[in-house]
């Protein structure tokens, strides 16, 4: 079965690993190309946009793809909408890995806002020391709140983004643990963290560290993400693919179609 994984996440890499070990599947992993040195993958990889839903549909047809797994990040809403449109158009089955959102626990102080711009606004007029745990493209929103001192961590340097005047950039791709996150927040004298609600374990230690240190979090809410059949993890997507394979093996007459 020819499978496309829309990737850029831990779950996508995990699913690629599971599929690479199974000769019943021929897999392509697609990356948007946001990082110049992505981690090596055990399956064929393609990089860059498809050119909207029509471009994606054309690519799926050309590659004779039989199933798509959207394993993109919870905040990547455009590609998910494109995947729903293209798969519907071609009647290709689509599953979406929907990573559950983090929920506030006792001791957490979260202010939920709709966007990076709203987060910058929510920081207020008094100067604060802010840790930005965001993608590099979102940093531009904070240039309009120059009264704060920012620390931002990212995989690689932002290009074409106007940064806030007072910002320290830390380049790291993780994983991070809670003690290291707490040390970073303390060393940088951070008094507020801005984060997306990415869900999952990989970036949660910073949230656990804010709880421990009593630091508030401005949490940018998730966008609406269009989806196919939903699963929570790579293993769920693998089971769904196996079911599709079994379904395909049954003759059409026996399926009553
Ligand atoms: P987006 O807003 O949903 O997508 C913007 C455009 O980028 C899409 O229309 C598509 O271009 C292209 N694209 C996105 N994901 C792609 C993929 N896997 N393969 C090929 N093209 C892709 O997405 P985004 O927020 O810019 O995120 C880009 C990628 O980074 C995603 O793959 C996502 O999983 C990963 N990521 C995002 C975040 C985040 O916070 N947004 C965090 C971690 C990782 P065309 O219309 O030309 O096809």
Contact status, residue 187 vs residue 209, Cβ threshold 8 Å:
no
Nearest residue by C-alpha to atom 16 in ligand 1:
32
Nearest residue by C-alpha to atom 32 in ligand 1:
8
Q: In the prediction, which pLDDT does 252 show?
A: 59
Nearest residue by C-alpha to atom 25 in ligand 1:
76
Name the strands in the sheet holding 44-47, side by side, starting at the edge strand that comes first in the sequence: 44-47, 26-31, 2-6, 67-70, 94-97, 229-231
CA-to-CA dists, residue 53 to 64, 83, 89, 173, 227, angstroms: 16, 7, 9, 30, 14
Rounded Cα–Cα distance for residues 154 and 136 (Å): 7
Ligand 1 center–CA 36 separation, angstroms: 14
Name the strands in the sheet holding 167-171, side by side, starting at the edge strand that comes first in the sequence: 110-113, 217-220, 192-196, 129-133, 149-154, 167-171
Atom of ligand 1 nearest to the CA of 55: 48
Q: In the prediction, which pLDDT does 157 show?
A: 85
Q: Quick check: CB of 33 below 6 Å from ligand 1?
A: no
Classify domain 2-100+224-255 at the CATH class level: alpha beta
Q: Quick check: CB of 43 below 6 Å from ligand 1?
A: no
Q: Quick check: CB of 74 below 6 Å from ligand 1?
A: no
Report the residue count for the chain. 257
Rounded Cα–Cα distance for residues 190 and 236 (Å): 38
- Number of Cα atoms under 13 Å in the Cβ half of residue 56: 26
Q: Please tell me the pTM assigned to this model.
A: 0.94
Rounded Cα–Cα distance for residues 98 and 78 (Å): 15
Ligand 1 center–CA 165 separation, angstroms: 28
Q: In the prediction, which pLDDT does 254 show?
A: 63
Q: Residue 30 is encoded by which pair of tokens?
A: 């697609």
Ligand 1 center–CA 32 separation, angstroms: 5
Ligand 1 center–CA 230 separation, angstroms: 19
Q: In the prediction, which pLDDT does 256 show?
A: 57
Each residue's pLDDT, cut to its tens digit, for the chain (257 residues) gives 999 999 999 999 999 999 999 999 999 999 999 888 888 999 999 999 999 999 999 999 999 999 999 999 999 999 999 999 999 999 999 999 999 999 999 999 999 999 999 999 999 999 999 999 998 889 999 999 999 999 999 888 888 899 999 999 999 887 889 999 999 999 999 999 999 999 999 899 999 999 999 999 999 999 999 999 999 999 999 999 999 999 877 665 665 55
Q: Residue 184 is encoded by which pair of tokens?
A: 């970073």
The architecture of the domain spanning 110-220 is: 3-Layer(aba) Sandwich (3.40)
Contact status, residue 102 vs residue 207, Cβ threshold 8 Å:
yes
Q: In the prediction, which pLDDT does 253 show?
A: 64
Atom of ligand 1 nearest to the CA of 135: 40
**Angle 121-145-110 from CA coordinates, rounded to 5°:** 40
Give the 3-state secondary structure of residue 82.
helix
Q: Where in the chain is the domain with CATH 3.40.50.720?
A: 2-100+224-255, 110-220
């Amino acid at each position: 079965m020819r499978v496309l994984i829309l990737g850029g996440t831990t779950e996508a890499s995990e699913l690629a690993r599971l599929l690479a070990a199974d000769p019943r599947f021929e897999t392509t992993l697609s990356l948007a190309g946001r990082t110049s040195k992505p981690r090596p993958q055990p399956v064929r990889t393609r990089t860059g946009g498809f050119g909207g839903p029509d471009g994606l549909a054309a690519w799926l047809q050309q590659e004779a793809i039989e199933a798509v797994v959207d394993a993109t990040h919870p905040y990547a809403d455009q590609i998910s909408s494109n995947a729903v449109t293209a798969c519907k158009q071609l009647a290709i089955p689509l599953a979406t890995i929907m990573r559950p959102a983090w929920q506030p626990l006792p001791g957490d102080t979260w202010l939920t806002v709709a966007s990076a711009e709203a987060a910058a606004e929510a920081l207020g007029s008094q100067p604060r020391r802010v840790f930005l745990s965001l993608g590099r493209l979102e940093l531009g929103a904070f240039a309009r709140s120059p009264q704060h001192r920012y620390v931002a961590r990212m995989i690689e340097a932002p290009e074409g983004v106007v940064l806030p005047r007072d910002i320290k950039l830390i380049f790291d791709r993780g994983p991070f643990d809670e003690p290291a996150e707490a040390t970073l927040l303390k060393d940088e004298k951070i008094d507020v963290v801005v984060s997306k609600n990415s869900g999952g374990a990989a970036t949660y230690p910073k949230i656990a560290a804010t709880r421990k240190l009593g630091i508030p979090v401005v949490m940018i809410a998730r966008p609406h993400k269009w989806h196919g059949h939903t699963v929570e993890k790579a293993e769920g997507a693998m089971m769904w693919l196996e079911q599709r394979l079994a379904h395909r093996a049954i003759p059409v007459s026996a399926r009553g179609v």
